[in-house]
Chains A and B, each alone.
Chain A
Amino acid sequence: MSELSVRHLLGIKYLNEADIELIFETADNFKEVINRPIKKVPSLRDITIANIFFESSTRTKLSFELAEKRLSADVINFSASQSSVKKGETLIDTVNNILSMKVDMVVMRHPNPGAGIFLSKHVEAAIINAGDGAHEHPTQALLDSYSIREKLGDVAGKKVVIVGDILHSRVALSNIFALKLQGAQVKVCGPGTLLPKYIESLGVEVETDLRTALDWCDVANMLRIQKERLDISYFPTTREYTQQFGVNKALLDDLDKEIVIMHPGPINRGVEITSDVADSKQSIILNQVENGVAIRMAVMYLLASKIK
């Protein structure tokens, strides 16, 4: 009978190895639950959860909402685009107004790094960070590691390369923290302009040649080129990016081993990976989505058990 060391899930940085193990063990049970004819348990029936999204999202929001409903929680949804935020309300005011309706837990996505941490210091509810700018996206990193563990048996000792826009990616940062914590070896690979300075200080290696990285790795996590975040030109053209950092079937077949392909979605088909790679049996992209619901159920169940 163990419990999480934290009250909020703000980032992987604040978790320890035992927390991750506990989340994975709990997710194993929820994965069985969501494959039953009736996929619902009554655990959180007296908990109300607000999904507050200040930035657009489809998959994460759907996944959280489904997880909440599978746990029998009451759910309210809030999108910044249709709200008083447009009228100039501050973040604390917005959230406190929602909390005065007796909400126990807040799932928040926000464009500013650290928004969740800020909020956790000012409001009572348990906060789950569903992405804060280019900072962290902890549930995505958890479901990525969980999917690797499911496919390869263990994360420890595995070689993982994260390919693409490391500079703007919260998925990359959370993944690096999570993978290192579990004892995996991590490399990042991408155009020099999209690799942050001092990234080595996180204990990862930098590789600018995709072929070398793929030859080395067991798992390649292909990040999306986030056109909406690229304020200036970091590489000449998308076509050139694809030629240097895109994965296609011919490249995969040329390797002397079968590596696992992951992608946090949404895929730009033909940019980071081609369609035949995305739909191949080496790809675990759809398993990641399924595991996302189980992981989020586990996180919310474990955090809710700390709400008294």
Chain B
Amino acid sequence: MALIPWQSILIQNYLGRIPYFCPSKVSMLKPMGQKVLLSSKEINIILHRLACQLLENHLDFKNTVLIGLQPRGTYVAQRLYKILKEEYGVKHIEIGFLDITFYRDDFRRGDKTLSATETTIDFLVEDKKVVLIDDVLYTGRSIRAALTAIQSFGRPSEIELLTLIDRRFSRHLPIQPNYRGRQVDAINDEKVKVLWQENDGEDAIYLVGR
């Protein structure tokens, strides 16, 4: 059966594979302007889809832990945790927050001292399935650091990666997400800004031109 164009877009959207086509849209950006990538409603739909995909693979979360990466991945992790518990009735999920500052590979390479944030993981990840959760996947270096950092809490049986935004074509390392919210093509000068109600007053994702 042939799909009419809007149907195919919907399906691809559901799969999270429709990229945000930058060449045409970037030219519409004014210098220093910002463009809404995802609205609060779209973020909510995507979070629910990601929660369902996690459920599909991990069912009761008996042997799975969610690890949000500090600082901004923790918001995604907490939202997913809330959706899984309150809307899909998962009784018990372990959630932790991991700071990767001391594992970064750019220590002493920039001008600024890297300041750490809090790590809260009060369980061992030995033989557990770990889902690392972050807001934006860009160069992949944070995830590389997180893969090392998580080993301090034991040897996980498996590690997966979930990111809300996947910036394609900008990776420095061979790292890809297992679950992605939305794929975005943005040039390196642009910044993806993720805002959360609990911290920034609104749920929204912007593409900011520099």
Q: Which residues of A contact B (CB under 8 A)?
A: 1-4, 22, 25-26, 28-29, 32-33, 36-43, 46, 301-302, 304-308
Contact = CB atoms under 8 A, between A and B. Distances in A.
Interface-central residue, B108, B114, B119, B151, by most chain A CB under 10 Å: B108
Interface of B: 99, 101-103, 107-108, 112-119, 124, 148-149, 151-154
Contacts of A32: 118-119
Contacts of A302: 113
A34 B115 CA distance: 18
Q: Which 9 A-B pairs have the closest CB atoms?
A: A41-B102, A3-B113, A38-B152, A29-B116, A305-B113, A43-B102, A1-B112, A36-B152, A1-B115
A22 B114 CA distance: 12
Contact of B117 (A29, A40, A307): A29
Given A41-B103, A305-B107, A2 B113 contact: yes
A26 B153 contact: no
A225 B154 CA distance: 45
A89 B154 CA distance: 49
Contacts of B154: 37
Contacts of B151: 38
B108 A305 contact: yes
A25 B113 CA distance: 13
A40 B113 contact: no
B118 A40 contact: no
A28 B118 contact: yes
A2 B103 contact: no
A276 to B, nearest CB: 34
Q: Which residue, of B102, B108, B124, has the highest number of chain A Cβ atoms within 10 A? A: B102
B117 to A, nearest CB: 7
Contacts of B107: 43, 304-305
Counting chain A CB atoms within 10 Å of each CB, which of B99, B113, B118 scores highest? B113
B108 A304 contact: yes
A304 B108 CA distance: 8
A36 B102 contact: no
Contacts of A306: 113
A2 B152 contact: no
21 contacts: A4-B113, A22-B115, A25-B115, A29-B119, A33-B119, A37-B124, A37-B152, A37-B154, A40-B152, A41-B102, A41-B149, A41-B152, A42-B102, A42-B103, A43-B107, A46-B108, A302-B113, A305-B107, A305-B108, A305-B113, A307-B108
